[in-house]
Amino acid sequence: MEMLSIEKELKGNAYPGRGIIIGKTPDGTKAVTAYFIMGRSENSRNRVFVTEGEGIRTQAYDPSKLTDPSLIIYAPVRVLGNKTIVTNGDQTDTAYEGLEKGLTFEQSLRIREFEPDGPNYTPRISGVMLVENGEYHYAMSILKSNNGNPAASNRYTFTYENPVAGEGHFIHTYKCDGNPLPSFEGEPKLVDILDDMDAYTELLWNSLNEENKVSLFVRYIDIATGTYETKIVNKNQ
């Protein structure tokens, strides 16, 4: 699989929707994740990321303008012991509760499907990172309609054991802008990761479409110790 430039991928797509990147720094010492949200409607754009415990949640920037919280207010990132869960919806809680009960990541998400926002039927994208005893593995998932047909649910889980330094994988909800919005296709894209967290955060934020970007979360986890650093960027501030 050809490695793609994350900068070019983002700059070349005005509306990938919501996106998850998971990978490892080129120096091999950090587990990396990034999650971004975008919006076309006022309701979607009226959001910020705020810290909650070891994770984050979305919050209305201007509560008076919030019309429908159901699919836009949720906790995208939660931490369960040595596992970091990142998703584009309230399936973060589903994965957390399933993993807590001893289910696998894939099993936990079997009770969920794509979002009920026809005709888009936005895919649910999720990721989990396991950092333990100096080892690091991750998995990504997408639950989507069958080419826009909500009668069938398609489920894909991709697992990456002993990920390679400098490599990341990128999955996003929409293939591109459109009406209705076409779902992401194929396996997560192989993309580059940087050692410098500040530089990577800046690269991602500056590459997202200026009009549609809303918020960005980036976390670098030290694989040897499990300690982490987080950056949050909000367009509304």
User: What's the total number of domains in the chain?
Assistant: 1
Q: Is residue 182 part of a domain?
A: yes
CA distance 203 to 209: 12
Question: Is the overall model pTM greater than 0.85, yes or no?
Answer: yes
The number of CA neighbours under 13 Å toward the Cβ of 48 is 13
CATH of the domain at 157: 3.60.20.20
pLDDT in tens, the chain (237 residues): 999 999 999 999 999 999 999 999 999 999 999 999 999 999 999 999 999 999 999 999 999 999 988 889 999 999 999 999 999 999 999 999 999 999 999 999 999 999 999 999 999 999 999 999 999 999 999 999 999 999 999 999 999 999 999 999 999 999 999 999 999 999 999 999 999 999 999 999 999 999 999 999 999 999 999 999 999 999 999
CB within 8 A of 104, min separation 6: which ones?
98
* 109: phi then psi, degrees, rounded to nearest 5: -90, 0
Q: Is residue 1 part of a domain?
A: no
DSSP-derived secondary structure for 41-55: SHHHHSEEEEEETTE
Q: Is residue 131 part of a domain?
A: yes
The number of CA neighbours under 13 Å toward the Cβ of 55 is 21
Residue pair 105/141 in contact by the 8 Å Cβ criterion = yes
Domain enclosing residue 213, as ranges: 6-234
DSSP-derived secondary structure for 121-141: -PPEEEEEEEEETTEEEEEEE
